Structure 1
Amino acid sequence: MDTLFQKHEEFFVFYDGEGNKIERKTEIRYDPLTGESSRIVFDPGMDLTPPDYTQTSKQTSGKNCPFCKENILKMTPIFPDNITPNERVTHGQATLFPNLFPYSKHNGVAVFSEDHYVKLADFTVPMIRDAFIACQKYIQSVLATEEKEVYVSINWNYLPYSGGSILHPHLHVIISESATNYQSQFERKSRAFKENHDRDYLNFLYEHEKNGERWIGEHGDVAWIHSFSPKGHNDFQAIFRERTKVEDLSEDDWTNFAKGLKGIFATLDEQGLASFNMGLTFSNEGFPVHARLIPRLVIGGLDTSDFNYFQVIHHEPLSYKVPEKVAELARKHF
């Protein structure tokens, strides 16, 4: 099965202005499930500084934020009674309500807590756990009302680099009659993998990667690895072992997931990264629940986006970071 982890090296040779030879390597890696390629490119030694939104937080919090405590019950919409008799879904510190500008048939927004600006190091396990349990409760309520097949995910845009438009930390629950491209491809490719190899892909990945170069660690039944063929400069995957449905997930599972996220956050912080996109996906075909987290950043003095024509037009991710080195960095936080 090692043959599933394919890579190819290319070398570009050129000379500097004084005639000294320079050789740069590009490594093309192929995703073991989808076959899609990504490129590990020359790292110029970026020295990244995490963005600090302390001043912005003062300008956007309180009366200027619909998610802050004085506004959340007045400025956010409410669910119909068939979803919850309590207008909104709550759990611990978290409050979940309908998205005013929905991306799908059902779209809930879960606010973590009263804190308007939370740095990575300041997220607590209960804060993370409660928000995801609120999402789980909402999903279960929606599924009880749905007759058609729907596709479910919990998503997180953290800080503006990720596309997040409100600083106050929050999650999006997407429940749609139409699969996203990621969901559709994952189901299709996982089905083919099982037919070809007589085993589930994510369980195979867990067994193959455990204690290897891209292994990070696990808490309970939630394991973390770094992707072989990354979709960004880091690409962390969480696998919920033996959990395939929304109702399979216990409070302990969410606690363990939150502990793992804390380790990932420490890894990002150590690299000067802060913002990220994350998606937690539920399968309709009995494959394990899994999550993927990819940091977002800007490059250079112009605050250049980390996405360029390679990602946007060619759908080819680029990474300055070698997956095995990132995994080594992350392991010490587990």
Structure 2
Amino acid sequence: MEFRREEEWFTFYDVQGNLIERKTEVRFDPLTGETSRLIFDPGMPITPPDYSELAEQTGGAKCPFCPENLYKMTPVFPKEISQDGRVAQGEAVAFPNLFPYSKHNAVVIFSGQHYVRLEEFTVEMIKNAFMAAQTYTQNVIAVDPNAQYASINWNYLPPSGGSILHPHIQVILSESATNTQTLISEKAKTYEEEHGKEYFTSLYETEKELGERWIGELGNVAWMHAYAPKSHNDFVAIFTESRSIFDITEQDWLNFATSIKAIFATLSEQGFASFNLLLNASIDRDSKQPVHIRLIPRITIGALNTSDINSFQALHQEPLSLKIPEEVADKARKHFEKIK
């Protein structure tokens, strides 16, 4: 496995004539070859937003996901997906997305609490929501053999693209793979043909041995930081014993929910409050590729609340990071040790 990087230096002078040098480090993703750029960090403090006032304005009777409206305003699944119309696991409830991204698209709320800060998420909340998402996915697969591609997606808080403050995840099953799913599948197949080993298993073993970006593992859920990050942090979780959505056990979800709390603490330490998460899972019981997750923070910058995505990420498809992966991993390791 190759961890390739190149350095570029920009040299210029301040108005007093003093030399200034700024380094850009270009890193190449070990699987896809895609590049990411580690850029100069001016050390600008990141202030997490407080949505308490907005929560008061949008919660309760004004929110379709809050308890007083949930069963009156949210739609229901066909009987072949759920006899009850929705899928429930503890306080978590899954129901159809009124504005779907795909052929099958469920929304899963975590609980009745309208505004949940990162530190307020409980292990039970997280476990139940993802178990409900898994149940929905399995139900769809049982009735639609054409739904070949599955993912669980979490847009947390408005900077991530979340349009409703009430915490929820989206479950998507489609006949067509997304660009990311296609790229990972094709590159992983090539990697195995060339090296005789499944990529994510190799990544897990290599990063654990190197230790530079390794964070820790709880049961069969292992965490590390991406070598070529897609944002200022980029956490990777691998379900080492789960090759499909059917293989994930309740204990795995419990370990995931417990360990992600360390990731949340790492984000909070740096001032990050919002994030995007993707869980990519095969529906093929004979798949060799483990279930895996990517999680990146989202922020707005400065007094103008400027988006953290500009033309570099949106059009060049070139991620930028102000943070050094190995340093972030060191922070995360400290938080991970506290949960074990």
Q: TM-score range by the shorter chain?
A: over 0.9
RMSD of aligned Cα (Å): 0.8
Deviation at 1:149, TM superposition (A): 4.7
- Which amino acid letter does the alignment assign opposite residue 302 of structure 1? L
Correspondence 1:281-292 to 2 at 5 A: 281-283=280-282, 284=284, 285-292=287-294
Measure the CA separation in 1 of the matches of 2:67 and 2:146: 36
In the other structure, the counterpart of 2:38 is 40
Deviation at 1:46, TM superposition (A): 1.8
TM-score (norm 1): 0.98
Equivalences, count:
332
Measure the CA separation in 2 of the matches of 1:61 and 1:301: 27
Does 1:197 find its partner at 2:183? no
In the other structure, the counterpart of 1:305 is 307
In the other structure, the counterpart of 2:323 is 321
Deviation at 1:302, TM superposition (A): 1.0
Deviation at 1:299, TM superposition (A): 1.1
1:78-101 per-residue CA deviation (whole Å, 9 max, x = no partner) reads 011101111100001100000001
Deviation at 1:147, TM superposition (A): 2.2
Correspondence 1:60-139 to 2 at 5 A: 60-139=58-137
In the other structure, the counterpart of 1:167 is 165
Deviation at 1:247, TM superposition (A): 1.3
Measure the CA separation in 2 of the matches of 1:51 and 1:145: 42
TM-score (norm 2): 0.97
Correspondence 1:202-221 to 2 at 5 A: 202-210=200-208, 212-221=211-220
1:184-239 per-residue CA deviation (whole Å, 9 max, x = no partner) reads 10100000000000001101001110151100111101000000000000000000
Runs of 4+ in 1 over 3 A off after TM superposition: none
- Which amino acid letter does the alignment assign opposite residue 58 of structure 1? E
In the other structure, the counterpart of 1:227 is 226
- Which amino acid letter does the alignment assign opposite residue 258 of structure 2? K
Identity %: 60
Measure the CA separation in 2 of the matches of 1:277 and 1:84: 28
- Which amino acid letter does the alignment assign opposite residue 60 of structure 1? T
Gaps of 5+ in 2: none
Deviation at 1:286, TM superposition (A): 2.8
Gaps of 5+ in 1: none
Deviation at 1:53, TM superposition (A): 0.2
CA contact (8 A) 2:198 2:288 kept: no
Report the 3-state secondary structure (helix = DSSP H, G, I; strand = E; otherwise coil) of the residue aligned with 1:326. helix
Measure the CA separation in 1 of the matches of 2:28 and 2:218: 28
